[in-house]
């Protein structure tokens, strides 16, 4: 259960998401209204060169609960989050990127977690929208490992909800959720993983982008560990490797081989 007098501020960080931003706003509005929740939505559009800003502006013109903040230059997600935190007035804050879609009743389930006063942050289970090809398989495997780790020790990503207890996060961090985890736990609150709440997300479309993103996040975790003395759960290497070994089973090996052969046949004509 949850207190219907709670005010929820939703922050959406957007960069060139014209194909998804309208769908996401509709979903947030539908879910919040279905439980008679007081809310507002702030979209921080950073360096967008497509129709994202125009789409959000059209929503804002029709609904005063929706606000558009524009960063002319893309300065990173941490910068966008800080713009949102600076303006957020809600008792609870949702923070997510514009490429996700929350599953049905995600808001209701996440808000209900805060009936426990010891909880300061919660999040659901990210699942890729697509798992086609080698990179799709890697994205799928990554988030399945993330899920297994989070079941043992909470680790949140893609869409999070927090109490309104932090003013800003380090602007240099490339791992925003990890930085927020650190700040929330430092204030004495617990983190809750809710795997029944599905968050559909987009992943990198090619191998180079996948590797680049993983390196960026790894460096971000190192930054959080060094500057905030917080170690994310995926740094516990022994249990992590145990999970990896269990997950790299025949399904993935076979799928990788099949997709490798598909790639070969797509690029070379043998017949």
pTM: 0.84
Range 130-158 average pLDDT: 86
Is 124's pLDDT higher than 90? yes
Q: Are the C-beta atoms of residues 61 and 31 closer than 8 Å to each other? A: no
Cα–Cα distance, 262 to 70 (Å, whole number): 42
The DSSP code for 233 is G
Q: What is the pLDDT of residue 247?
A: 55
Among 177, 210, 209, CA closest to 193: 177
Q: What is the pLDDT of residue 181?
A: 94
Q: What is the pLDDT of residue 180?
A: 94
Among 113, 237, 252, CA closest to 184: 113
Among 95, 88, 231, CA closest to 155: 231
Q: In 10 A of CB 214, how many CB atoms?
A: 13
Residue 180 to residues 108, 113, 231: CA-CA distances in angstroms? 22, 17, 12
Let me know the angle formed at the C-alpha of 110 by 105 and 113, rounded to the nearest 5 degrees. Answer: 130
Q: Which residues, 6+ apart, have CB-to-CB distance to 194 below 8 Å?
A: 109, 110, 113, 122, 123, 124, 125
> In degrees rounded to 5, what are phi and psi of residue 220?
-60, -40
The overall average pLDDT reported for the chain is: 86
Max CA separation in the chain (angstroms): 68
Range picked from 95-99, 173-177, 249-253 for highest mean pLDDT? 95-99
Among 194, 170, 190, 172, CA closest to 181: 190
- pLDDT tens-digit readout, 34-92: 999 999 999 999 999 999 999 999 999 999 999 999 999 999 999 999 999 999 999 99
Q: Are the C-beta atoms of residues 137 and 183 closer than 8 Å to each other? A: no
Cα–Cα distance, 7 to 156 (Å, whole number): 22
Q: What is the pLDDT of residue 141?
A: 84
Range 110-136 average pLDDT: 92
Range 243-251 average pLDDT: 54
Is 232's pLDDT higher than 80? no
Of the two residues 241 and 95, the one the predictor is more confident about is: 95
Residue 174 to residues 126, 127, 221, 226: CA-CA distances in angstroms? 19, 21, 8, 13
Among 188, 159, 186, 187, CA closest to 81: 159
């Amino acid at each position: 259960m949850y207190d219907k007098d709670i005010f929820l501020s939703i922050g959406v960080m957007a960069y060139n998401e014209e194909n998804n931003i309208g769908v996401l706003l509709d979903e947030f509005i539908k879910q919040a209204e279905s439980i008679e929740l007081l809310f507002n939505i702030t979209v921080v559009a950073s360096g967008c060169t497509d129709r994202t800003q125009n789409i959000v502006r059209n929503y804002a013109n029709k609904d005063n609960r929706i606000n558009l903040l524009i960063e002319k230059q893309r300065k990173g997600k941490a910068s966008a989050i800080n713009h949102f935190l600076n303006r957020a007035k809600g008792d609870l804050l949702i923070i997510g990127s514009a490429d996700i879609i929350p599953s049905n009743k995600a808001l209701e389930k996440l808000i209900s977690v805060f009936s426990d006063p010891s909880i300061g942050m919660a999040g659901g289970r990210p699942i890729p929208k697509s798992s086609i090809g080698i990179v799709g398989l890697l994205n799928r495997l990554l988030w399945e490992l993330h899920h297994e780790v989070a079941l043992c020790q909470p680790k949140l990503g893609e869409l999070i909800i927090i109490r309104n207890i932090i003013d800003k996060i380090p602007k240099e961090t490339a791992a925003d959720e990890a930085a927020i985890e650190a700040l929330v736990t430092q204030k004495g609150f617990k983190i809750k993983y809710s795997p029944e709440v599905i968050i559909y997300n987009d992943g990198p479309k090619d191998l180079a982008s996948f590797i680049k993103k993983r390196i960026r996040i790894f460096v971000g975790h190192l930054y959080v560990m060094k500057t905030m003395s917080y170690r994310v759960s995926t740094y516990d290497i022994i249990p992590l490797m145990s999970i990896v070994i269990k997950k790299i089973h025949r399904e993935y090996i076979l799928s990788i081989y099949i997709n490798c052969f598909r790639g070969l046949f797509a690029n070379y004509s043998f017949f």
